Structure 1
Amino acid sequence: MPSGSDNRGARNSGAKSAKAIKAAKKSSGGAKPRSGMPKKREIPWLTVGAVVAVIALLAILAVNLVPKYQDKTAADKYAPTADNPDPSTSIDGVVKKDYPAALHISATQRVAYDQSPPFGGPHDATWATCTGIVYPNAIRTENAVHSLEHGAVWITYNPDKVSGSDLDTLKSKVDGKSYMLMSPYPGLDSPISLQSWGHQLKLDSADDKRINEFVAALRLNNFGAYPEKGASCSTIPGAFDPDNPPAFDATPPGPDAVSMDGKGLTPDTSEAGSGAGLPIAPQPTPGS
């Protein structure tokens, strides 16, 4: 009977199927049983935090340093040279006047200045300390004008119009910088006014780029923009106290005030007793 033959065929067929299944498992690496839920992918928070911190630092540096670098680069274009001794002539709004130098008055006299704030003409024999001083109160104009004769730039502002961050911006341009001084000027007809000897620039904003240009062009301009080359801006002991300077006088000068032509005054070319022997401050590099 064929039953034996059929049994052998079934066994052979089953064996082949088992071999095929075994070969399939082998080629696929075999099925691995799952053990619970799949693991969640962990986020490297420390790495992410470090990257964010670095990006934030770079952003802060860019915000603070890039504009300053751009301002310095722009201002450096106004540094005086032998070929361009007065770059302020290309700054819009600068007013220029010629004034005689070394016309000194006493501490009790006043000058009938032709400009407000003044930027030249007769002045006190003692200069206002101009070593990067930010005066919190208005100072006597006759002392400040003498500082201009030494090559300083005097930044003034109307205290009723400039305050807060704008005032801080102005202070940052003066504080600690040689041959610079700053003070409020009550009644000023513009928010801000810059003075160097024979030059003035009135502005509305502390962010105006012309402030840096004016300073670069005229502070210690040794090509003729101020009369007394090499003169000191340091404090004169016993003559001017930067912590308690002579006060600003807002009243009209009066009929006995010294005129702008210095009539009756003798030019003092020696400045004896008003700074002889004081050290000369280091000359700043353009834009510093």
Structure 2
Amino acid sequence: MKAARGSVVTKKGTPWGTIIAVVAVVALLGAVITYYMVKSAPKRDQADREAAAASYAPTAADPDPSKRIPGVVTANYSGSVHVLPSERVAYDKTPPFGGPHDQTWATCTGTVYPNAVRTENMVHSLEHGAVWIAYNPQQITGDALNLLSVRVKGKPYTMMSPYPGLDKPISLQSWGHQLKLDDPNDARIDEFIAALRSNPNGVYPEVGASCDAVPGSFDPDSPPPFDPSKPGPDAKPMDYKGSTGAQTDQNGGMGQQSTGAPAPSTAPTK
């Protein structure tokens, strides 16, 4: 009897509660890690793409590395030629990448616009050193759209928007530079951004100008919409002198009014 009582006292049951709790914690931890890896994959992949494009960063010896990127088209445009919010410009390129533009720039602080934005505001942002990724919303959707968005979200001096009727799936713009592409995986997207975003070597007119939202003039959550119609006979030409009453930038801010002084005409570069 004593032996039997001893065996009952010393024998312990299997701690199923503890085992179940540990298994649940391990499973939860695994799910969290998997979720993180899946969600962070686009950012990690983008970091790799940016590292691969780092050799296109501008230097004093190589002030405009975009000249080494196949397919980049360039043109010379005069800066600080402004129109009023009610006026349109008859641009010479689609999408435009320079020329007269609205007195207020579009917010370009890593902004992904879900809807097309008034072109004249977007062009002003290029004058400040921004890169604008435009895409054809009929051709770029789903994973392709996400792949472009990760290039922009949270990236200073970068913005993105649909551009209805675009003749290529993707078009990149900086002031005086454009690159049209078919594939969102194309490494030239990252090379273009590395070469031209906030390039300090005089490739755009207003080095150091702001990309922040302009309170009371441009709301990035409700921007002026894109006008798909053809500009009418009252649209301002590319050699426009600037509208009386339109403000000009002064150190990146809204400053003096335009005097209407003549602006040199644009000319394509080789």
Equivalent position to 1:107, from 71, 74, 85: 85
Q: What residue is the counterpart of 2:240 in the other structure?
A: 262
Equivalent position to 2:189, from 211, 229, 232: 211
1:105-144 equivalence runs, <5 A:
105-144=83-122
Shift of 1:183: 0.4
- Contact map agreement 1:102 1:269 (CA 8 A) in 2: no
Distance 1:70 1:192 in 2: 21
Is it true that 1:236 corresponds to 2:182 in the alignment? no
Equivalent position to 1:252, from 230, 243, 246: 230
Change in CA separation of 1:170 and 1:69 when aligned onto 2, cut-off 3 Å: closer
- Contact map agreement 2:83 2:242 (CA 8 A) in 1: no
Shift of 1:234: 0.4
Change in CA separation of 1:89 and 1:153 when aligned onto 2, cut-off 3 Å: same
Shift of 1:117: 0.4
Distance 2:252 2:59 in 1: 30
Secondary structure (helix, strand or coil) at the match of 1:119 reads coil
Gaps of 5+ in 2: 1-22, 256-270
- Contact map agreement 1:126 1:274 (CA 8 A) in 2: no
Query: TM-score, structure 1 length as denominator?
Result: 0.71
4+ runs of 1 displaced by more than 3 Å? 63-70, 263-266
1:55-94 equivalence runs, <5 A:
67-94=45-72
Q: What residue is the counterpart of 2:204 in the other structure?
A: 226
Q: What residue is the counterpart of 1:155 in the other structure?
A: 133
Secondary structure (helix, strand or coil) at the match of 2:233 reads coil
Query: TM-score, structure 2 length as denominator?
Result: 0.76
For each residue in 1:235-288, what CA deviation from the matched residue of structure 2 results, as whole angstroms up to 9, or x when unmatched? 11000011110010011111111100114658x8952597359xxxxxxxxxxx
% same residue: 59
State the AA in 2 paired with 1:194. L
Distance 1:121 1:244 in 2: 24
Say how many residue pairs are matched. Answer: 223
For each residue in 1:140-189, what CA deviation from the matched residue of structure 2 results, as whole angstroms up to 9, or x when unmatched? 00000000000000000000000000000111111111111110000000
Alpha-carbon RMSD across the aligned residues, in angstroms, is 2.7
Gaps of 5+ in 1: 1-45, 278-288
Which has the larger Rg? 1
Equivalent position to 1:181, from 156, 159, 162: 159
Higher strand residue share: 2
Distance 2:131 2:125 in 1: 8
- Contact map agreement 1:236 1:274 (CA 8 A) in 2: no
Equivalent position to 1:167, from 145, 148, 151: 145
